[in-house]
Amino acid sequence: MPETRVALITGITGQDGGHLAGLLHGKGYEVVGLIRGQNNPRRPALLEAHPFVRLVEGDVTDPVSLARVVDHADPTEIYHMAALSHVGYSFANPTLTMSVTGQGTLNVLEAVRLTGRTDKTRIYQASSSEMFGGLDYNRPGLGYDEDSRFHPRSPYGVAKLYAHWIARNYRESYGMFVSCGIAFNHEGENRGEEFVTRKISKAVARIHLGLQDRVRLGALWPKRDWGYAGDYVEGMWRMLQHSEPGDFVLASGVTHSIEDFLTAAFARIGVEDWRPYVEHDEALLRPAEVDILLGNPAKAHSVLGWERRVDFEGLVDLMVAADLDRERRAHPEAAR
Ligand code: NAP
């Protein structure tokens, strides 16, 4: 009998957690999800979408809860996705961000070590392109790779850099199988509504249906390397199947501005000039902005055989289509 593979996903209620749950279930894993809070409001939707997930309660800021969960679930793989993941939110809540996004990773690593699983459990650490910060961008056309210099520009980026280095440290110090995916922005139909891409796709759908007049946005010039979350979780899984742990950039290798995203999204509803529908909101500007992020996924391509399937246009398409569908179902009277 082949050994049952058990995957523990922290951040199961988040965007990537949902994509991972589906992917791993399809591959025959028993999927266990860490869920926080006494009565997490996202639990019903999660169980409706993924009824096969076994939920266990815990919080990445509570090392005791993590040790209990790891001991109980006995995972062969941990996908550590839990974080406070919004850059803007991290400026307003820097201490909490450090605790959840930074120290939460240490707590996961320690839970594995203290329960005697260093040789048994492989760990994926969700590192981020925000660790690069855009300032040292001096490789036009090539993009950041695994050896590029870090210069995070937000409390989120700094917390992720701590998490990235402590994960590498446990790999080197204790010989643990810990791989860090340095993921560039990935979006999709289940992206949180606080993120700019989803804010745009939802607003475009609602404007088309006459449910909303305008959308308020901050900076429009920043450029990001955007991909589809469904593709990126495949890369995460591949990292844990590889013979050696390591760091891998997951990116599309193409960068687009928020203006480009607006243009593409409004084009889906037949609007060429989006300017009358967009209001500038100073309050949404960040104390420090990251002007451009571009990743170089050459290592993931050659070592893991990973390729993204959905391009920028395809991503915008599927996000606007999903929001149109959701809004039409919520407002049948507005259907066009
Ligand atoms: P997300 O949608 O914001 O999900 C974050 C998850 O973390 C949620 O399930 C949330 O649960 C959970 N969480 C927050 N605080 C927690 C705590 N104290 N204990 C346990 N769980 C907690 O993020 P995502 O887009 O799926 O991203 C997944 C990971 O990849 C994150 O670490 C993110 O920083 C990283 N990343 C994402 C991107 C991207 O573009 N998406 C790029 C690079 C790196 P609740 O439902 O309880 O809030």
What is the sign of the dihedral through the CA atoms of 180, 309, 47 and 128? positive
Q: Closest ligand 1 atom to the C-alpha of 60?
A: 19
The active-site residue out of 128, 129, 154, 252 is 128
> For residue 135, what pLDDT is reported?
66
> For residue 335, what pLDDT is reported?
63
- The label of the residue with tokens 């090539």 reads 142
Which residue CA neighbors atom 46 of ligand 1 most closely? 13
Do residues 182 and 171 touch, judged by C-beta distance below 8 A?
A: no
Residue 163 sits at the vertex; the CA angle it makes with 97 and 182, to the nearest 5 degrees, is 105
> For residue 336, what pLDDT is reported?
67
Tokens of 108: 């996961």
Q: Closest ligand 1 atom to the C-alpha of 129?
A: 43
Centroid of ligand 1 to alpha carbon of 197 (angstroms): 16
Centroid of ligand 1 to alpha carbon of 68 (angstroms): 21
How far, CA to CA in Å, does 120 sit from each of 30, 61, 116, 177?
Answer: 16, 23, 8, 9
Q: How many CB atoms lie within 10 A of CB 173?
A: 11
Centroid of ligand 1 to alpha carbon of 11 (angstroms): 5
CATH (one of 3.40.50.720, 3.10.20.30, 3.30.365.10, 1.20.58.2030) for 6-186+226-250? 3.40.50.720
Which residue CA neighbors atom 28 of ligand 1 most closely? 81
Condensed to tens digits (0 to 9), the pLDDT of residues 124-172 reads: 999 999 999 876 655 667 899 999 999 999 999 999 999 999 999 999 9
How far, in Å, CA of 52 to CA of 29, rounded?
10
The active-site residue out of 77, 127, 129, 130 is 130
**DSSP H or E stretch at residue 63:** helix 63-73
> For residue 134, what pLDDT is reported?
77
The CATH architecture assigned to 193-224+255-293+311-334 reads Alpha-Beta Complex (3.90)
Helix (H, G, I), strand (E, B) or coil at 171: helix
Condensed to tens digits (0 to 9), the pLDDT of residues 173-186 reads: 999 999 999 999 99
Which of 12, 62, 81 maximizes ligand 1 atoms within 8 Å of its Cβ, making it the mutation to test the pocket? Answer: 81
- DSSP assigned state of 103: I
> For residue 291, what pLDDT is reported?
86
The active-site residue out of 124, 144, 156, 228 is 156
Of the chain, the end-to-end C-alpha distance in Å amounts to 54
- The label of the residue with tokens 């060429």 reads 272
The pocket around ligand 1, CB under 6 angstroms, is made up of 10-17, 34, 36-37, 40, 42, 59-61, 81-85, 100, 126, 128, 183, 185-186, 192
162 labelled catalytic:
no
Which of 34, 85, 127, 255 maximizes ligand 1 atoms within 8 Å of its Cβ, making it the mutation to test the pocket? Answer: 85
Residues of the chain with pLDDT under 70: 1-2, 135-140, 335-336
Q: What type of residue sits at position 14?
A: G
**DSSP H or E stretch at residue 204:** helix 196-208
- The label of the residue with tokens 């844990």 reads 240
> For residue 334, what pLDDT is reported?
83
Q: Where are the domains of the chain?
A: 6-186+226-250, 193-224+255-293+311-334
Counted residue by residue, the chain has a size of 336
Which residue CA neighbors atom 27 of ligand 1 most closely? 16
Q: Parallel, antiparallel, or unpaired for β 256-257 and 223-224?
A: antiparallel
How far, in Å, CA of 251 to CA of 266, rounded?
25
The pTM score is 0.96
Do residues 234 and 201 touch, judged by C-beta distance below 8 A?
A: no
